[in-house]
Amino acid sequence: MPYQVKPLPFTKELTGISKKTLDIHHCKLYTGYVNKSNEIEDKVKKADKGAANASYSEIGELKRQQSFALNGVYLHEAYFNVLGGDGKPTGPLVERIKKDFGSYEEWEADFRAAGMAARGWVVLAFDVNDGSLHNYSCDVHNHGGIWGAMPIVVLDVYEHAYFIDFGSDRKSYIEAFMKNLNWEAANKAFHNVICKLGKT
Q: Is 77 in the site for Fe ion (CB under 5 A)?
A: no
Question: Nearer Cβ to Fe ion, position 58 or 159?
Answer: 159
Determine, following the binding rule CB under 5 A, whether residue 156 of this chain makes contact with Fe ion: yes
Q: Shortest distance, CB of residue 81 to Fe ion, whole angstroms?
A: 13
Torsion angle of the four alpha carbons 149, 152, 157, 161, in this order, in degrees rounded to the nearest 10: 140
With contacts defined by CB under 5 A, name the span among 80-88, 136-144, 154-162, 173-181 that binds Fe ion: 154-162
* Residue 78 to residue 150: CA distance in whole angstroms: 10
Question: Smallest gap, in angstroms, from Cβ of residue 157 to Fe ion?
Answer: 9
The CB-of-25 to Fe ion minimum distance in angstroms stands at 6
CA 154 → CA 40, 48, 50, 164, 192, distances in Å? Answer: 25, 36, 38, 20, 15
- Residue 114 CA to its chain's centroid (Å): 14
Which span sits near Fe ion by CB under 5 A: 40-48, 55-63, 126-134, 153-161? 153-161
Pick the closer one to Fe ion by CB: 77 or 156: 156
Indicate the helix (H) or strand (E) that contains 136.
Answer: strand 132-138
* Residues in touch with Fe ion (CB under 5 A): 156, 158
